[in-house]
Each structure stands twice: as C-alpha cells, then as structure tokens.
Amino acid sequence: MSYEIIKWVHILSGIVLFGTGFGSAFYKFMADRSHNLDNIAITNRHVVLADWIFTTPTVFLQPLTGFWMAHERGFGFSSGWFMLAVGLFIFAGLCWLPVVWLQIRMRNDAQSALARSGQLPPRYQSDARLWFWLGIPAFSSMVAVVWLMVAQPALA
C-alpha cells in the first residue's frame, strides 16, 4: 500500500477519533445536564455505540498507520517527539479504558432507571463526574500528540 494512502487513513482516522470523542462528550454532557431521563438514556446508548463503531477502530488504526509511516520515512522510533507521542497516546488510552467502562455502566443505569424506577441511581452522578474528569487529560494528551506529529520538534 502506498505511503499516501496510509497517510490519508491516518489523518482521517485521527479526525474521526477527535470528532467522535469531542462530539460524544458534548452530547453526553448536555444530556446529563438536562435531567431528562429519556434524553440521558438515549444519549448514553448512542455514546457507547459511537465508541464501538468509530473510536475503537481508530484506536487501532492510529498506531498501526503511525508506526508504518514512521518506518517508511526512516524516522527513528527512539526520536524524542515520537516516543513522547507514543507515551501520550498510551496515557490517553489508559484514561479512555475506564471511560468506556463508565459509559457502559451509565448506559445500563439509565436504561434500568427508564424501565423501572424513573430515577438514576446515586452512583450515576459520581460516574458522570469521573467520566468528565478523565476526558480532560485524555483529550489534552491527544491534542499534544497531534501537535507532535505535525511539528516533529527536535526533542532530546
């Protein structure tokens, strides 16, 4: 496969990763603030689905295409910017894994509340806060990764 095709896939998957993550976070945050259980349940269901359909494939495509392009262009995998980008990507992933678990639990809690009691369990709010706060370092790390890939600064 040509370098240009892999580069296109890498850039497109990065856009999908950012767009889905930021969009899902916005809609979930706004649904939670609405206190409308129907809206919360539907939005949580869609956020989990978007993660499986869009985010999960890009989490695998990004490093595969990134390492392939670095190899093709002769970048040393030990260069400072590359190692920092990989480290930040891993850090973002470590934040994302509990976020996925929280999203699934919040989806299930909202669906149960909708079907049974009409009230979200108390842990829903604490899960939502943790979900929000984990998203900040994950998103910030990914912004830094994109900057590192574009700028490729000379780091020791």
For residue range 3-56, list pLDDT tens digits in order. Answer: 999 999 999 999 999 899 999 999 999 999 999 999 999 999 999 999 999 999
What's the rounded Cα separation, in Å, for the pair 138 and 88? 9
pLDDT in tens, 64-101: 999 999 889 887 778 888 899 999 999 999 999 999 99
Please tell me whether residue 155 adopts helix, strand or coil conformation: coil
**Is the Cβ–Cβ distance between 84 and 73 less than 8 Å?**
no
> DSSP per residue over 32-58, as a string?
HHHT-HHHHHHHHHHHHHHIIIIIHHH
CA 37 from chain centre, in angstroms, equals 24
Give 61's contacts (C-beta < 8 A, 6+ positions apart): 9, 10, 13
pLDDT in tens, 85-142: 999 999 999 999 999 999 999 999 999 999 998 899 999 999 999 999 999 999 999 9
What's the rounded Cα separation, in Å, for the pair 38 and 9? 37
What's the rounded Cα separation, in Å, for the pair 109 and 9? 36
Angle at the Cα of 43 (from 13 to 95), degrees rounded to 5?
Answer: 50
